[in-house]
Amino acid sequence: MSHATFVGPDLTTFTRLDELGLLVTGQHVELERAVLACRVVEPDQWCRRCGCEGLVRDTVTRRLAHEPLGWRPTLIVTVRRYRCSGCGHV
Ligand SMILES: [Zn+2]
């Protein structure tokens, strides 16, 4: 590491959330905990039942708490939900 190349700090790659297809969009750090807000990078609008394209219906947030960083970070992930234009499956 004596010739390490430094790039700009990036919380997404620092926490390796890019490997999960997530992008960190915000942080909230307190003494006892840290919350990272994330969203899914790749859109996922294709129906798993019939293959039709879905339309964005709403957005839900899911709270996860397993990102291992030694102190107690919590992830809040924003997930888009789609309703299929073919079969109506959400
Ligand atoms: Zn469908």
CA of 44 to the centre of ligand 1 (A): 13
- Check if the beta carbon of residue 10 is closer than 8 Å to that of residue 22: no
At 31, phi and psi to the nearest 5? Answer: -60, -45
Q: Does the pTM of the predicted model rise above 0.85?
A: no
pLDDT in tens, 8-26: 999 889 888 888 888 999 9
CA of 30 to the centre of ligand 1 (A): 43
CA of 60 to the centre of ligand 1 (A): 20
CA of 82 to the centre of ligand 1 (A): 10
The more confident residue out of 32 and 81 is 81
What pLDDT, on the 0 to 100 scale, is given for residue 4?
A: 86
The more confident residue out of 17 and 49 is 49
On average, the pLDDT of the chain sits at: 84
